[in-house]
Amino acid sequence: MDEAGKGDYFGYLVVAAVLVDDETEKKLLAMGVKDSKRLTDYAVKSLGPKIAKMCPTEIVRISPEKYNKIYPRFASLNNMLAWGHSRVIENLVAKTGCMDVITDRFAEEELLMEYLMPNGKKASIVQRINGETDTAVAAASVVARYVFLRTLRLLGMEVGFVLPKGSTDVKSVAREILKKHGKDILSMVAKMHFKITREIGA
């Protein structure tokens, strides 16, 4: 498992889980699959659909609109990530029966355990720092990033702006969206709890 979009002001929060066995691992490595942070967006867009077609995959997509509605309930991004990870574990274990789970560690180990559902509680879960060194986690990172990039583009088309990635060079676009469409539309494409929202006067 891995996630994408957690540090991006614009766009979805995506959590993906990918089932990899010995045979598919060889194929993924031959395809050039590695941590999505070490791949270009072009490579991610090419590899993402191929991985999803080759391997059983489970994805949780949280749109900015939904993210903004449920964030107060979770009170922190890590809590929301723990819920998203527990959901993809639950669904993929139910679908495949695979009980060995590896995830990139995003918070204290106990946090994920708090959110696990019945199937997840039966699984053997390993949380690793730099988990993307594992081929399965790397594949999940590519799928999550692919879904993030695709949905970011679609959101941008809806509001008539190219939405930038990350959280450093986004203020000018955020201000323009706010000026042209107002705060309600901004909240449909942006994670409003980021300090950027306050900084642009929204």
Given this model, what pLDDT does residue 133 score? 85
d(CA 59, CA 56) in angstroms, rounded, equals 10
Burial class (CB in 10 A: 0-12, 13-18, 19+), 142: buried
**Is the CB of residue 27 less than 8 Å from the CB of residue 43?**
no
The predicted-structure confidence for 149-175, as pLDDT tens digits, reads as follows 999 999 999 999 999 999 989 999 999
What is the token pair recorded at 178?
Answer: 């706010």
The predicted-structure confidence for 51-91, as pLDDT tens digits, reads as follows 999 999 999 999 999 999 999 999 899 999 999 999 999 99
Any idea where the domains of the chain sit in the sequence?
Answer: 2-196
Mean pLDDT, all residues of the chain: 95
Band of the pLDDT at 129, cuts 50, 70, 90?
A: confident
Superfamily of domain 2-196 in CATH is Ribonuclease H-like superfamily/Ribonuclease H (3.30.420.10)
The predicted-structure confidence for 176-200, as pLDDT tens digits, reads as follows 999 999 999 999 999 999 999 999 9
What is the token pair recorded at 48?
Answer: 């993402």
Given this model, what pLDDT does residue 167 score? 92
Given this model, what pLDDT does residue 10 score? 98
Given this model, what pLDDT does residue 107 score? 84
